[in-house]
Each structure stands twice: as C-alpha cells, then as structure tokens.
Amino acid sequence: MATTTTTAPGQPTTLVGKAALEVDDRLIVAGPLRRTLNKVFPDHWSFLLGEIALYAFVVLLLSGTYLTFFYDATMTEVTYEGSYAAMRGIEMSAAFESSLDISFDVRGGLLIRQMHHWAALLFVAAICVHLLRIFFTGAFRRPRETNWFIGVALLVLAMLEGFAGYTLPDDLLSGTGLRIFSAVFLSIPVIGTWVYFTVFGGDFPGELIIGRLYILHVLIIPAILLALIALHLLILVKQKHTQFPGAGRTEHNVVGHRLFPTFAGKATALFFIVFGLCAALGGLVQINPFWLFGPYNPAQVSAGSQPDWYIGFVDGGSRIFPPWEIVLWGYHIPPVLWGALGIPGIMFTLLALYPIIERKLTGDTASHHLLQRPRDVPVRTSLGMMAITAYVVLWISGGNDVIAEKFDISLNAMTWFGRIGFLVLPPIAYWITYRICLGLERHDREVLEHGIETGVIRRLPSGEFIEVHQPLGPVDEHGHGQLAYGGASVPKKMNQVGGARRAIRGFFSPIEEPAAVQRQAELEARGLESEQSSRELTGSGRPSEGGRPSEGGRPQQEPRD
C-alpha cells in the first residue's frame, strides 16, 4: 500500500483507519478478511442448527473452565464435613466431595455446573438435529462427504465426552453407568479382560478411572473436538454453503446474507439465545442432583438408574437384547456385547458410510450444491425415518423402567414392546414416509400442471361447475402448465402468488398497519397492471385474461378439473 502521500484518495483519515492500515502493512490481512466478511450465508432457518451446537460448545468451554478451578479428580477416600447435612460423616471420594463443594459451597458453582450439564445435553441434541437436516436434504453428497465424516466423528466424540463428564462427580448414578461400561469392556471377545484391566488400571473401580476420565474430558477429547470443529468450518467456508433450490439459485451461486454485517448480527444474537437458554435452564431446572444419589459404592445400586439421553439408546439396546448365549469360534459372546457395542457399532458405521452407500446405489457421482427436499428423495427420507424410529424404540427402552413405573405398565410388557417394536415399527415408518413423500411430490406436480386452486367456482353454459385454477406459468393448448418439476417449493395458495394481500409482518405482534399494507398492495397491483398492459403477454398469449386470478387464466374451451 502507498504510504508516501497522505492526500491520495482512499487513504484513511480516522485514527482507527490509520491503525488498521498499519496492521495491514505488517500482516497483509485485508484481502482474506474481506473475502471472509463477504462470505454469503443462506438465510433458511435450518442452516442455524449446526450453529446452535457450536455455541453450546462455547458455553461448555466457558462453564467447564470455571468448574476445573474447584474440581478434584482423585478417588482418595475422604470423610465429608461440608455444608450438606445429609452427607456429613459419610466416606466418599475426593471427586464426589469436591462436586458437593461446587454445588453447595462455591459461589455460583451450582448454577455453572447445571449450565454445563444442560449445555452438554444441548450440544449433542443440536448435533443430532443438525445431522438430520444434512441427511434429509442430501447436503452430504459430493463434494461434502469429508465434512459428513467429520460430523459423525464429532457426534461420537461428543457422546464420549458427555459420558466422561457424567462420570466425573463419582456419584452412585454415574458409577452405575461406569459399572455397566466395565461389563461391556469385559464382554468384548478375546481382548475384553485386557481392555478392562487397562482402562481401570486393575479391578473395578480402582483408584485411577476418575483421573483418567478427567484428562479425557478436559483435555484430550475437547482438543480433538476443537480441531475437528475448526476443520469442519474451514471446509464449509472453502466449499461454500449448500442452498435450497428456488428462484435465482443455481449450482454456482449462494443466495443469502453476507457474513458482515447481517449474518454476524444474527450469529451473535443466536449465541446469546443459546447462552440465555443454558443459563435459564441451569438456574431454573435442577439437573443431576447427585447429592440425592450419594457417593459411588459398588455395593449399592438404585432403581431407575439411567445414562444421559444420548447414551440412552445404548442402554436400551442392552435392555431389550434377548438373553441368547452365542458361541462363535469357541468364544462365548455375552448378549450385552450385541446390545451395547453391536447396535451402536452398526449404527455409526452405516451413518458414516451412508454417502458412499448412496453414491454406489444411485450411481450419482456428480457434485451437488443445491439441496434436495426430503419428498424428492423418498427412499433416502424413508430410510432416515426408519433409522429414527429404530433409534427412538431403543431410546424408549433405555428408560423403560421409569416409563413402566410412571405409567403403571408391566416392565416385561415394555421390554417386549422394545423387542417387537425394534423389528416391526421401522418398516412401517418406511412405508408411511414413502407414501407421504410420494403424495407431497404428486401434489406439487399437480399444482404445476393444473395450477393453484383458487376457491372460485364457475358455472359453465352447459351447467357444469368447475373450480378455477390459477396456472403458475405458461400453459399449453390443453391448459396444462409447462413448468418443469424443479424440486423447489411450489406455491399452493393464492396469496403466495400475490392473489391476496401478503401476511402482516411481525413475529410476536404486528409491526405494520394492515390498511397501509393493503394500500401498498393496491399501488403495486396498479403498477403491475399498467406494466402488463404495455407489453405483449408471454405464455398463454391471452391478453384479455392477463393471467389475473379472477379470470382463472385458463382457456375457456378446456374447463378441466
């Protein structure tokens, strides 16, 4: 940059501008920064789902750092003498004692711990919802398979991270979960016993596991998560966003708002919404009250012990798997292995490989930047719904004892519901979804072909009644629309094509006067009419009808439907 003259046009005159110039002189960041700030984000709401996960992760980092100041990750036996009366004099691990201290003696400790836990539940939930959006819209297709793999890895890591964190208070609930995991380690053929002794450094529970899980929880997994999230976002920026098909949207552009200022404002707002939600839940709704559960003692166990929601399906799988004793190549394989490792293993393998599987099955190897609506790919959508159904059945089975108790159902009935439901409900979900997809797609095609139902009934000279349809575009000699099916949203109501006054704006309350909107609409219509009368009509070539809804815009001699 030129620095010799101060009078040249474009030179900064303010202090900030001059400082920025000095920085740019040394680091040369203006170009890349401009490119980044100009990045365009699509404005559809579903593109914000992944961002919720990102902000939940930020909340987790902030609140988790505060907790590390007070948490003691050792399993040394201590006698509690703190302020919670119902535990005073009880022997417990130092980890549990410090957790009690965080909840009862550290200023703001309980709030921050509850925020941390709620944000963790939200983090995994947001990843799952984001994953579903990516799956159902086909955003994982070439060239974005890499980001799909990274996303699946992030999900698995988030679950592990959550499980490690759930275990850290060393309470009776999480200890029971850890005990189940130790049984799962033992159930692995051939290497199970060695894995078990390696993880626990001896027999369960030992004195090491909390310290090891702590390092996993605060250092190793977060570091990998952070690196993968960064990579995930870099790839996203490099490959640019996908977008839904629509007017003006092609495979070669992205329609939306630039990062700066619009999207930055939106993103900041969303961060505060996520932060506020975590804070509100942390302050208002009690989570993981481990002082009621008590310190972990392998001799004790409680009814209704559950993992956090994202591990629930693993628990469900092991609860409903039949007690079959399977011997393979001379190795006895306990049923818990199939339920706890087999089902999640198959699930995540299929999930990670899905882009490749779909590419092989469809033979579609082209690059795609336009999304597909779920209805346009009925097989994929139905497979997704089938997987969700199976997951939900496992999930319900993971909490089947609580459900049985609360709703006065036999626990055995709940188990059999899980077993039968896991096999029967997914195919039903597939069939129902497939029919719904076809129905929606057919309706879109019908509207494209025959037009929008106007609700205007007309009587023909012959006495026949017909409903007048508004074609969406030019029609052929039979009155059928000539617009091709493009996989984009099709307007199905007259006010979506300007047949009625548009909806009054305002999310919570109207922010404009209906009368003013009406006036404006009339003005616009007059402008349109004069414009239309001044030019040759395209399409149906019927200037007399002018494509106005009241006339139906349909040829008189072809009164169909």
Partner 1 sequence: MSTTNASSEAPLEGGRSGLRRRRPAAGSPAAAARDRRRSKQRRRLANIAGLLAALVLTGVGYSALAPGASAADDSTGNPSNAVEAGRELYTRSCITCHGSNLQGVQDRGPSLIGVGEAAVYFQVHTGRMPLVRQEAQAPERPPIFSEEEIDQLMAYIQANGGGPTLPSGDLRDGDLAEGGELFRLNCAQCHNFTGMGGALSSGKRAPSLLDANDLTIYAAMLSGPENMPVFGDNQLTPDEKRSIINYVQTIKAAADPGGAGIGRVGPVAEGLVMWTVGVGALLFGIFWMGTKAP
By CB under 8 A, the residues from 234 to 273 that bind partner 1 are 266, 269-270, 273
Q: Tell me, what DSSP letter sits at residue 295?
A: B
Site for partner 1 in 166-195 (CB under 8 A): 172-173
Cβ proximity to partner 1: between 187 and 288 the closer is: 288
401 binds partner 1 (CB under 8 A): yes
Centre a 10 Å sphere on the Cβ of residue 146 and count the other Cβ atoms it contains.
15
Tell me the closest approach of the beta carbon of residue 73 to partner 1, in angstroms. 22
368 and 355 in contact (C-beta within 8 Å)? no
Q: Rounded CA gap, 314 and 186, in Å?
A: 16
Contact status, residue 310 vs residue 159, Cβ threshold 8 Å:
yes
Which lies closer to partner 1 via its Cβ, residue 24 or residue 43? 43
**Taking CB under 8 A as the rule, does residue 513 contact partner 1?**
no
Contacting partner 1 (CB under 8 A), which of 402, 436, 494, 504?
402
Q: Tell me how far, at minimum, the Cβ of 32 lies from partner 1, in Å.
A: 27
Q: How far is the CB of 58 from partner 1 (least distance, A)?
A: 14
Least separation in angstroms between CB 129 and partner 1: 7
Please say which residue, 104 or 434, places its beta carbon nearer to partner 1. Answer: 104
548 binds partner 1 (CB under 8 A): no
# residues contacting partner 1 (CB under 8 A): 73
Tell me which of 12, 143, 304, 427 binds partner 1, using CB under 8 A: 304
Chain-centroid distance of CA 291 in Å reads 33
In the region spanning residues 18 to 47, those forming contacts with partner 1, defined by CB under 8 A, are: 43-46
Three-state secondary structure call for residue 476: coil
Within 8 A by CB and 6+ apart from 8, the residues are 2
- Do 158 and 309 contact (CB within 8 A), yes or no? no
Residue 59 as a binder of partner 1 (CB under 8 A): the answer is no
* DSSP codes, 68-112: HTT------EEE--SS-GGGTT-EEEHHHHHHHHHHHTSTTHHHH
Quick one: which segment of 224-232, 235-243, 290-298, 418-426 binds partner 1 (CB under 8 A)? 290-298
Shorter beta-carbon distance to partner 1: residue 76 or 268: 268
Q: Which is nearer to partner 1, 79 or 250 (CB)?
A: 79
Crossing angle for the helix pair 109-136 and 264-284, nearest 10 degrees? Answer: 130
Smallest gap from Cβ 505 to partner 1, in A, equals 6
What's the min distance (Å) between Cβ of 302 and partner 1? 4
- Of the candidates 26, 238, 505, 535, which one interacts with partner 1 according to CB under 8 A? 505
- Strand, coil or helix: what is 457? strand
DSSP code of residue 453: E
Q: How far apart are CA 561 and CA 469, in angstroms?
A: 8
Residue nearer to partner 1 on the CB measure, 397 or 540? 397
Please answer whether residues 232 and 150 qualify as being in contact, where contact means their C-beta atoms are separated by less than 8 angstroms. yes
The residue behind tokens 């974005």 is 144
Of the two residues 86 and 328, which places its CB atom closer to partner 1 in the complex? 86
Q: Determine contact, residues 137/372, Cβ cutoff 8 Å.
A: yes
- Residue 409 found at the interface with partner 1 (CB under 8 A): yes
Interacting residue with partner 1 among 17, 108, 201, 283 (CB under 8 A): 283
Whole-angstrom distance, CA of residue 375 vs CA of residue 387: 17
Which residues in 84-113 contact partner 1 (CB under 8 A)? 85-90, 103-104, 110
Burial grade of 64 (CB within 10 A; 0-12, 13-18, 19 or more): buried
d(CA 124, CA 53): 7
For the bound state, the minimum distance from the C-beta of residue 94 to partner 1, rounded and expressed in Å, comes to: 18
CB of 211 to partner 1, least distance (A): 24
Between 24 and 401, name the residue whose CB sits nearer to partner 1.
Answer: 401
